[in-house]
Amino acid sequence: QGGVSVNCGGTYYSSTQVNRAINNAKSGQYSSTGYPHTYNNYEGFDFSDYCDGPYKEYPLKTSSSGYTGGSPGADRVVYDSNDGTFCGAITHTGASGNNFVQCSY
């Protein structure tokens, strides 16, 4: 999967944590949480350096197990729903309303 670390509004996620989120999403074992779900990219972010989509999103968490339920928090990994490739990371932190801004990576 390669390794990309991201910084979402001051919260740092290692490449291991990013990959764990994608693996949790692909496993389907946490689907009762409502994630992963389709990310429509209404904001028009450019993820083409990493993938072409279609996109899904899954919460990013710093815990060792990653997101397994409860509050999803502000940060998301975006990945290619066909093959699980990392596409990018987005956060509600610093965005207005329910919008997203891109994390740095």
37 in active site: yes
State how far the Cα of 102 lies from the Cα of 93, in Å rounded to an integer. 10
Q: Which of 16, 14, 8 is nearest to 73 (CA)?
A: 8
Pick the catalytic residue from 78, 86, 92, 103: 92
How far apart CA 103 and CA 105 sit, in angstroms, is 7
From the list 8, 18, 39, 57, the catalytic residue is 57
Catalytic site includes residue 92 = yes
From 37, 72, 85, 93, active-site residue: 37
Non-local CB neighbours of 54 within 8 Å, separated by 6+ positions: 38, 80, 81, 82
The set of catalytic residues is: 37, 57, 92
